[in-house]
Homo-oligomer: A and B are copies of this chain.
Amino acid sequence: MKLLEDRIMAEGRFLPPEIIKVDSFLNHQIDPILMEEMGKEFYRLFADAGVTKVLTIEASGIAMALEAARCFRVPMVFAKKSKTRNISGDVWTAPVFSFTHQTMNNITISKQYLNRGDKVLVIDDFLANGEALRGLISVCEQAGAEVVGCGVAIEKYFQPGGHELREKGYRVEALASIESMNAETGEVVFHH
C-alpha cells in the first residue's frame, strides 16, 4: 500500500538493530484518515473471505482493526493482555511474548465473543517473529473459530514470523512489507 509505504519513509525512524518507530502516525499518535484507508485496504484484500469478526490485541492494533471491521460491518474484538476484574466468566487465553516490553503476557478473550462458526480476520500493527498473531490464532483454535486471514500494517519480511505462518497455510497480507533496512543509513527496501 503506497500510502503507508510513503508515510513510513517520511516519518518512520529506523534504529539499530532492526527497530522501526512509527509512533507519529500508527501506534502512539494515530492518523485517523490513514487508518480509514488501511481499513478499506484490508477489506479489499479479504472481501471474499466471509469475515464475521475482526480480532486484534490491545492497544496498537485497535485503531486499524476497528476501521477494517467498520468496512466489513462486523464486530471487532480486542484481546486483553492481562485478566482483569471486569472480564467475568470463562476466557480463552494464550501466552504471548512481547519483544517491546520483554515480558510474557497472557492474552485473554471472553468466550462470549469468539465462537465456533466465526470466520476471523486477525489484525495487528507489526509482524516480526509472529508471537502476537500466533497467540491470537491459538485463541481462535480453542474457540473452534476459523482464521480466514491475517492482516498486518507492517511486516518485517526479513524476520521469520510471516514466513512460518504462510508455511502453515495461513493467508497473511501486509500493507507494507520491509524486505531489508539499514538503520545506519535509513535505507529501506520494500518487498512487493
Residue positions of A touching B, CB distance < 8 A: 19, 21, 23-25, 28-33, 35-36, 58-59, 62-63, 66-67, 69-70, 73-78, 80, 84-88, 100-102, 109-110, 112-113
Residue in contact with A59 in the complex, picked from B19, B59, B77, CB distance below 8 Å: B59
Q: How far is the CA of A78 from the CA of B27 in the complex (A)?
A: 8
Number of identical protomers:
2
Residues of chain B with a CB closer than 8 A to A85's CB: 100-102
Min CB gap A82→B, angstroms: 8
Residues of chain B with a CB closer than 8 A to A110's CB: 23, 28-29
Residue in contact with A84 in the complex, picked from B32, B35, B101, CB distance below 8 Å: B101
Query: Nearest B residue to A63 by beta-carbon distance?
Result: B66
Min CB gap A68→B, angstroms: 9
| Contact (A29, B77) CB under 8 Å given A86-B19, A88-B21 | yes
Q: How far is the CA of A109 from the CA of B27 in the complex (A)?
A: 12
